[in-house]
Structure 1
Amino acid sequence: MDIELLKKLKKLQKLTNEELSEKSGVPVGTVNKILSGATKSPRHDTIEALAEALNYHPYETERTDVEALRESLAYGTPRNYTLQDYYDLPEDVRAELINGSFFFMETPTLMHQTILGELFFQIKKYIKEKGGKCKVFLSPFDVRLDNDDKTIVQPDLMIICDMNKLDEKRYNGAPDYVAEIVSKSSSRLDYIKKLNKYLDAGVKEYWIIDPDKQKVTVYQFHKEDAPQYYSFTDKVPIGLYKDLSIDFSDILNDL
């Protein structure tokens, strides 16, 4: 039994030892000793009671720690998690924090990574050849979008031009350009919730790339234009630059 995971679940759910004791029926003194490490070999039924109170079922061998976290944190439901909760997540859990709620990310597919790699290559090559001052970044890289402690996102790809907002840990503010590659599980998040967040935060240009439909939806927020739609046979212009277009036929050939 991983006591550390129970401690993380307790912290993320913002429970005190007293509240956990009340929920589980385990005396608060026992809770204190177990979570502090003073009790080295807690009783099986005591651990089960604590786990049940945290909505974690450690003895179901099919479940993983990540699955337990997702269920316990109630994926995408309104909560009040903060930046500190985000950085307290286990290292093997990828998630975004949006308006105080966690949204967990699946492992990228081969198609996702192929599209992302080619997109990065074409943009990076252009900026380098032109001697541009902006930089292009791949996920995972944290963006503190609203400069508050309620939202941290990891765009699949972004271009940033204000290096004063960049530090070793994250980018603080709105990127100039963001591209998200849609999966079945992220479709609603990318098309609705992130669209509105990026618009409100001041992102100038937002691309939603849909591999299944072979479609690219482009929003030029800084021009207040209606979205433009392209297929994977098109060359799609990046509005930040006058002469940069992404040739999706090259990407299509690699899929």
Structure 2
Amino acid sequence: MAFALEKDKHYTYRDYLTWPDDMRCELIDGEVFMMTPAPLLTHQNVAGEIFFQAKSALRGKPCQALIAPIDVRLPRHGEADEETDVVVQPDVMVVCDSNKLDRRGVRGAPDWVVEVLSPSTAGRDHIQKRRIYERHGVREYWLVHPIDRLLTIYRLIGGEFGKPDIYELQGATPVEAVPDLEIDWQAVLPYLPSDDLT
């Protein structure tokens, strides 16, 4: 039986919980954004290597690295879970406050979020999700561009993302929001598309 969403309806996490398990989507300000059935291998390998490095670096420390798919609910101040209209699934994240973790995933802003860009989601990651992460207090937001081999970093300054820093994917980049964590791009390079495939 096919599942259909109502056009122009404002959805909340209450609705989200009733949808089929195989329906992968994000909820941004009440609007549903369907996710591709399965990301490309490059995307998964890059996200997996970043997660592996973060998980390894943070073993035995208070901060915890997580990888999609995992629901991150971003309620407004005092808003009940069922009423929140923002549910996202960042590719990789670190949460340092264990009170934000529960059986459903994460409630509240992760400290560090990484989105590995795909052609089908790059616009949403750059615009809607950047705005959402800023509004809800994500301290550091990374956008990894596998094809261009670039990294864009937004850091929260005074409640707003400042001007982004842009780097080539080389050497190692420290995560300012998470002590003792840096990403070594040399280990990621084998998973990036070669120039003759772009």
SS of the residue aligned with 1:119? helix
Aligned counterpart, 2:175:
238
Q: How does 1:47-58 map to 2 (within 5 A)?
A: none
Residues 164-215 of structure 1, C-alpha deviations (whole Å, 9 max, x = no match): 1211012111111100111111111000110010001011000011111111
In structure 2, the residue matched to 1:215 is: 150
One-letter code aligned to 1:86 = Y
Q: Give the corresponding residue for 2:189.
A: 252
Q: Quote the offset at 1:244 in angstroms.
A: 2.8
Residues 1:118 and 2:53 aligned together: no
The structure with the larger Rg is: 1
Residue from 30, 47, 50 that aligns with 1:100 = 30
Please give the root-mean-square deviation of Cα atoms over the aligned residues, in Å. Answer: 1.7
Residue 190 (structure 1) aligned with residue 125 (structure 2) = yes
Count of aligned residue pairs for this structure pair: 183
User: What amino acid does structure 2 have at the position aligned with 1:170?
Assistant: G
Mind listing any 5+ residue stretches in structure 2 that lack a counterpart?
193-198
Residues in 1 aligned to 2:122 and 2:171: alpha-carbon distance in whole angstroms: 22
Offset at 1:250? 1.5
Residue in 1 aligned with 2:164?
227
Q: Is the 8 A contact 1:182 1:209 kept in 2?
A: yes
Match 1:139 to one of 58, 61, 68: 68
Letter in 2 for 1:185: S
Deviation string, structure 1 residues 84-120 (Cα, Å, up to 9, x no partner): 2212222222100111110011111110111111101
Query: What is the distance in 1 between the residues matched to 2:108 and 2:117?
Result: 23
Deviation at 1:232, TM superposition (A): 1.7
Question: Does 202-211 or 147-156 show the bigger shift?
Answer: 147-156
What TM-score do you get using the length of structure 2 for normalisation? 0.85
Q: What residue in structure 2 maps to residue 178 of structure 1?
A: 113
CA distance in 2, matches of 1:166, 1:251: 28
Write the distance in 2 (CA, Å) between the matches of 1:87 and 1:219.
Answer: 31
Write 1 or 2 for the structure with the bigger share of helix.
1
| 2:13 corresponds to | 83
Structure 1 residue ranges without an equivalent (≥5): 14-72
CA 178–243 in structure 1, closer or farther in 2 if over 3 Å, else same: same
User: Contact between 1:205 and 1:222, CA under 8 Å: does it hold in 2?
Assistant: no
